[in-house]
Structure 1
């Protein structure tokens, strides 16, 4: 990590100020005055793309989405206006212009549209590189917490009602929010068992931030660095999501994700019990609900796209806009297919292959037909920071990944020679006892209730339990016949399938998730390798809440403390990598693999959100990215280690610590 300069700290503070209570911009008098006085089109020389400014001004004069309305990036008119604002922010020639433009938009543009465009701009704008954004739940508490919690926050602040709150050491109003509604009001009993995972706040937010980092509408390299392996990353991320979700189903004794058919009722319902900021209820869906009539045209389009995907995968060819075709039975084919199915801006033929995921989210979410382009009520499926909550999201991911698995089945299988590491053998793998538990965390939701004035510093937090696990250590013994470098990967997967039969790693390679990977210096003879679960660069701690973070920045600006810029601004919560398990223990297994390492064989992966990493210049998920023609566990340089995950009460964990 690098020590932050005062200039960086001031920028960090200003970004938070510009996102603070966007529904009440007057509460920041200095920014409000700046936004009122700034004339965005007066000096076009302040922007490197003057046409972008002219377009935004034309849209604004014509009439954009008004303040107070619900914004959705899944609506083409909303997205067009948000992109126009983003472009003006991005093309600001200096940070001063960037802030003035944001201050103007904070007053004159729809709140949701402003937050989205400004957030994407902060991530991409060179002068705000590695600046942290507030958590989404802090900006939109009503979308993460049930109506009951929001009402309690309102009563506790305005009426000093202490009956449903608890005391806090920092003076915050704490509202308990654990299982406050019966399962029948939310989802099926089976899905209710998984709410601690599917409704985990930071798990959903990491998904949101990843979408901010690489929006589906943005071409790679158009704004900032090229996004490498975009289509491949799309599949890899969904694979990890799906495999991790299935492990939680194993832990709770649930069966396989149910398939669905566009011609039949949707099997799983979902009742969010939440409202948008303007009081409109977030759409719900009942179990075995028939698809609404106004979605029938979209269903026809979805079926057509699915036929096109199947044709492309089975034939091995995709068609470009100029009527030429391209083979996808190549190393880069996964990249082409991923972009095509996501329907992102790098798709080889968006006119033909469309945007499958966008359409599917629209249909499955059961959002009502818009009364007009500025009167939409998006479903949970149409909000990136929330869609993991809906059971049908996982059914959709399963369907998308079925195309991936079908595609790789046509690729040449790995041979023993492809994956072997001559003269290197993993002799043994041991791991400490793996134990999970639930602990409490307080989420800042002050924005759920309007502030009385600029001096209103009332803190309101919602307390939920979250899944966590004790730190554990891998103990790996490697025998090498020479001094050399290796690259060691650790994957985790189930021991048994949903039919309680022991899984075949060769066939079920996609059920394993990558936990850690790093370079190791192997000496001649026996090498004892110890690695803590907390050392992985792929995961990290949950971010501190914005009230705590803002105070840290203030102290750092005055020189009281030192703030170090994190190497990886956003990472998946380390506490969530291990599934819940059970008191008696649920069997899983680690797959450990070591392969040759050389600096020239490494790929430098750059991400505006997740930092820079060096990874093997091989397919993501190697060597578990596709099938092999032998039992991969038989490799001398691989090892399959069974272990159990035990779930304990937090008090039991504390006593044994």
Structure 2
């Protein structure tokens, strides 16, 4: 018997099935419009929805606020069906997804995977075309049709070595979903829900993306990312081979050597001015709102304030003065091929949160953004003994259980993406694309901790990973390692007096998505959860927890730290959070971020020690592990 939540799940998922295809209005049927939907439909159907353009985001905000404000679940569904018939398809998908994630009566309901709703955002056009042709030509409609996907480009482009990473479906879906959980246009005064540390999460999630990408580059013998730093520099070319499943238009390619150009709504000079104003604020130590009031960028909230300003979220203290540096950067790069709109060329992949990670410029742009945050962090004092130590607690040893050589193996594995819920071909068998992705063997941390006190202590265990050497084979200093440290896990543990052995599986990571349910499962009400800890689809893919390493075996620092949970926690009770998957990147839904420490602690500030050994306290341990790619 399907539960009430399961019934809701089936009704919600139906909104997304064949969302890009013809609607009732195309057949001359009258589409009723509720007064709350007046003013929508500005962005034409079939146009590419730009996840960073203020006009597109504003229309999406109007829609998701109307859907969130619907009095009942049935009213919400009715409004959604009305909007589905005439608003832009991509905008509809974005707004309805935001509403589902944040409506109280949708708790326990999961969003269908974006890659099954709009596979064109993840699969090259030539692969999709071949899959659909194969399906049409196959006489047996009961048999599944499987088409292989190849990565875009070839070895003439050095960046081709990282195609497997940039084109990974999991990380692109993660980026799309994160921006649904934390929309830049979110208005707490309208929705009644405040998103704790949203600006800091914007900083940290993208900082971790950059660190992860640099680790992947080093794994492939490539230098670390050179940050974007000059608004007049020539950019490398890029072609994604992606197309819109709605209009048939291709995401625009970028020719080699183009530079950013003024758009009708923003100029290059605006971007330079906003950058300089933000850097000035960091150097002065405060930001100024539109009434001239100053807010100090202190150790506690400064990073959160900056995150809101740089993204230009609704919480920005002075949007007209500090501008929209991050979002307009995405738009400018996406429109670089046709900045004046002379040829009506669609935007490039940088215009979409589901596709932007495929472009190498994404990581250069976000290293530039991260450098601004780094400038602020450099103004803060380095952590001292009181900040870093945990009195009476000592880490004795760190091992990988059943793996005394401390070797983690990675390889490429095959997986399937189902196209059957995006394209209707009147057949019972599924249409699937087979693709490769990086994966690793599962492992278990075994952490031996000595509690020298006579009382049980509650601890937060923090685990990070970073490469030992740079691209030239030089050993990285602790301060250089900071920007490469990938957070692998963060969890609570009890330390009884005496010896303690903590075991933790890699699959339990606080940064990764524990599971993902297919469109078909959700369509039949499977996986819906009436409990408070329901799946929320926000998190790093489990198969990309560990960098690739290399065939010889690449050495990494595995850093483990134990801190006082009583000083870290933000609540005194033990109430269950909802959406507790991947809390490090996604927070706990509708609750305070479950860690009082700055995100990335203890690597978010300058480390003055010359070696890791010199910097360590008894409650820390740094061991060398090897990642070997087969």
TM-score by length of 2: 0.89
Tell me whether 1:368 sits opposite 2:346 in the alignment: no
Tell me whether 1:569 sits opposite 2:536 in the alignment: yes
Tell me whether 1:177 sits opposite 2:149 in the alignment: yes
Counterpart secondary structure, 1:312 = helix
Q: CA deviation at 1:20?
A: 0.7
Partner of 1:547: 520
Query: Out of 640, 643, 651, which is 2:622 matched to?
Result: 640
Partner of 1:441: 415
d(CA) in 1 for partners of 2:197, 2:221: 36
Q: CA deviation at 1:577?
A: 0.9
Kindly tell me: are residues 291 and 623 of structure 1, through their superposed partners in 2, closer, same or farther at Cα, counting changes over 3 Å? Answer: closer
Kindly tell me: are residues 518 and 292 of structure 1, through their superposed partners in 2, closer, same or farther at Cα, counting changes over 3 Å? Answer: closer
Counterpart secondary structure, 1:594 = strand
Kindly tell me: are residues 26 and 329 of structure 1, through their superposed partners in 2, closer, same or farther at Cα, counting changes over 3 Å? Answer: closer
Per-residue deviation, residues 167-187 of structure 1 (Å, max 9, x unmatched): x9x8321111134x5416xxx
Partner of 1:93: 71
Count of matched residue pairs: 606
Partner of 2:555: 587
The answer (yes or no) to whether the contact 2:53–2:328 under 8 Å persists in 1 is: no
Per-residue deviation, residues 434-489 of structure 1 (Å, max 9, x unmatched): 1111111101123564445xxx4452111101111111111211122123222211
Tell me whether 1:474 sits opposite 2:445 in the alignment: yes
Q: CA deviation at 1:645?
A: 0.2
Partner of 1:536: 509
Kindly tell me: are residues 412 and 261 of structure 1, through their superposed partners in 2, closer, same or farther at Cα, counting changes over 3 Å? Answer: closer
Partner of 1:19: 16
Q: CA deviation at 1:628?
A: 4.0
Kindly tell me: are residues 510 and 600 of structure 1, through their superposed partners in 2, closer, same or farther at Cα, counting changes over 3 Å? Answer: closer
RMSD between superposed Cα atoms in Å = 3.0
Kindly tell me: are residues 507 and 600 of structure 1, through their superposed partners in 2, closer, same or farther at Cα, counting changes over 3 Å? Answer: closer
d(CA) in 2 for partners of 1:498, 1:295: 41
Per-residue deviation, residues 362-403 of structure 1 (Å, max 9, x unmatched): 22222524659x967222001001111111100011111111
Tell me whether 1:624 sits opposite 2:603 in the alignment: yes
Uncovered stretches (5+) of structure 1, i.e. residues with no partner: 42-52, 163-167, 649-657
Q: CA deviation at 1:615?
A: 2.9
Structure having the higher helix fraction is 1
d(CA) in 2 for partners of 1:635, 1:237: 27
Q: CA deviation at 1:25?
A: 5.3
Kindly tell me: are residues 128 and 174 of structure 1, through their superposed partners in 2, closer, same or farther at Cα, counting changes over 3 Å? Answer: same
Counterpart secondary structure, 2:605 = coil
Partner of 2:583: none
Kindly tell me: are residues 263 and 124 of structure 1, through their superposed partners in 2, closer, same or farther at Cα, counting changes over 3 Å? Answer: closer
Kindly tell me: are residues 598 and 296 of structure 1, through their superposed partners in 2, closer, same or farther at Cα, counting changes over 3 Å? Answer: closer
d(CA) in 1 for partners of 2:305, 2:146: 48
Equivalent positions of 1:2-401 (< 5 A) are 6-24=3-21, 39-41=32-34, 53-54=35-36, 56-57=37-38, 59=39, 64-160=42-138, 171-179=143-151, 182-183=153-154, 189-220=157-188, 222-277=190-245, 278-292=247-261, 298-365=267-334, 366-369=336-339, 371=341, 377-401=346-370
d(CA) in 1 for partners of 2:186, 2:345: 23
Query: Out of 430, 433, 457, which is 1:462 matched to?
Result: 433
d(CA) in 2 for partners of 1:477, 1:393: 40
Partner of 1:654: none
Per-residue deviation, residues 53-91 of structure 1 (Å, max 9, x unmatched): 35x32x25xx63333333324344333332222222111
Kindly tell me: are residues 141 and 565 of structure 1, through their superposed partners in 2, closer, same or farther at Cα, counting changes over 3 Å? Answer: farther
Uncovered stretches (5+) of structure 2, i.e. residues with no partner: 581-585
Tell me whether 1:417 sits opposite 2:414 in the alignment: no
The answer (yes or no) to whether the contact 1:269–1:391 under 8 Å persists in 2 is: no
d(CA) in 2 for partners of 1:354, 1:257: 26
